[in-house]
Structure 1
Amino acid sequence: MLDTSNRRVGVFIDVQNMYYSARNLFGRKVNYPAIVEQVVGNQKLIRAIAYSVATEAGDETAFFDALEKNGIEVIAKELIEYDSGIKKGNWDVGIAIDIVRMIDMLDVVVMVSGDGDFAPLGDYVRSKGRIFHVASFKESTSSELLDTADIYTNLSANKPIYLIPEAQAVRPAKNKTKTALKI
């Protein structure tokens, strides 16, 4: 059996993609620490980074704190709202740049996303002789991204592990007028 314990792993989480996939497919939230634990296995975790957006209200602070307590670094950018009402908080380029910068210190790049925009990044990772591992909910994963993966983890195949049970979901306190952003 192949000894993978010396492989250096970087886990890169596209929070918005995963949040909306889990919400739209299953009406649930994602258990990010369980995903990191599974995809790293007995390998050596170098960094696990969750890329997210922060709203002006700061409703996601508890979520960010929970990730950090579980060893997942959080990088957040402000949600931009244009005059037209369109909101934008895309991290695709930022994630790609971080992976390019870290590629020499990694043997395995784990992309936790189903976004097909990362397919060229997968090709790049593989061209550098690294393993490109994708973890996502297959129902919302781009076929182009799947085609670039050396390893694929279908999170839908084990929902009890990768989704947070409804009873554990954070509920907004009563008498609050703000709407909580659940990520």
Structure 2
Amino acid sequence: MIQLIPPRPFQPSSNGHAYAAKPSSASSGEFQGVERTDRGRVVVFIDGASLFYAAMQMEIEIDYTRLLSCLVSGGRLIHAHFYTGVDPSNEKQKGFLYWMQCNGYRVVAKELVQSTTGAKKVNLNVEIAVDLVRLAPYCDTMILVSGDGDLTCALDFVNYQGVQTEVVGLRSMISEHLINVADYYTDLATIKQEIQKRHSKEFH
């Protein structure tokens, strides 16, 4: 099984390049691209399942090193959290999560549970929400990669603590509520080229 990793003391580091977008109006659905240069101390929260399905929709494989570099442009990365369900029998997934841990990500994992329909699933919204609230005093910007509207209240709370918030997700798969409460929104499709693996091919 994947062991949950407790928080470590914050250690700032420098990073690369990215773009963000800010709503021109909540109702119009149109967004204006904005390059961010004032992020300060940044914490990233990635909903693994949400990003996985978005990548499938875009028919790409995510390069997680390039993803971090892209997201944290103009800021200093404090932590990058990756939340995912795990199958203890999946050796390939274990290898992937070990790689993530060795390359700047803090993996927060829960074992997948089989539902009455036979599907395996897990909900990590509580863990993400708690970390959003818990880490707000220690950063200037929080970047949430998720489309789940259940995280809206936690993100809104963070806003009221004076933290700049950014939401990243595929436009067709993200809650309008998340977009409305965030300071900035980035459509994953607009940074597709920057975050995909170089050898990425279409899924069949």
TM-score w.r.t. structure 1 length? Answer: 0.81
Please name the residue that 1:37 is paired with. Answer: 69
Are residues 1:96 and 2:136 paired? no
Is the helix fraction higher in 1 or 2? 1
Alignment-derived partner of residue 116 in structure 1 = 149
Q: For each residue in 1:68-104, what CA deviation from the matched residue of structure 2 results, as whole angstroms up to 9, or x when unmatched? A: 2321111111111145423221111111011111111
Which amino acid is the alignment partner of residue 173 of structure 2? S
CA RMSD in angstroms, aligned pairs only: 2.2
Q: Which runs of 5+ in 2 are unaligned?
A: 1-35
> How far does residue 46 in structure 1 lie from its aligned partner after superposition?
1.0
Match of 2:58 in 1: 26
Equivalent positions of 1:115-154 (< 5 A) are 115-154=148-187
Equivalent position amino acid for 1:131 in 2? Q
Question: Quick one: structure 1 residues 142 and 80, their matched pair in 2 at CA, closer, same or farther if it must change by over 3 Å?
Answer: same
Letter in 2 for 1:160: Q
Mapped contact 1:28–1:166 kept (Cα < 8 A): no
| 3-state SS of 1:12 partner | strand
Aligned residue pairs total: 166
Q: Bigger shift: 57-66 or 121-130?
A: 57-66
Superposed CA deviations along residues 111-154 of structure 1, whole A, max 9, x for unmatched, are 01111222212211111111111111222111111111101222
The residue type paired with residue 31 of structure 1 is D
Distance 1:83 1:152 in 2: 36
Percent identical among aligned pairs is 31
SS of the residue corresponding to residue 30 of structure 1 reads: coil
Could you tell me which runs of 5 or more consecutive residues in structure 1 were left unpaired when the two chains were aligned: 170-183
Query: Could you state the TM-score of these two structures normalised by the residue count of structure 2?
Result: 0.73
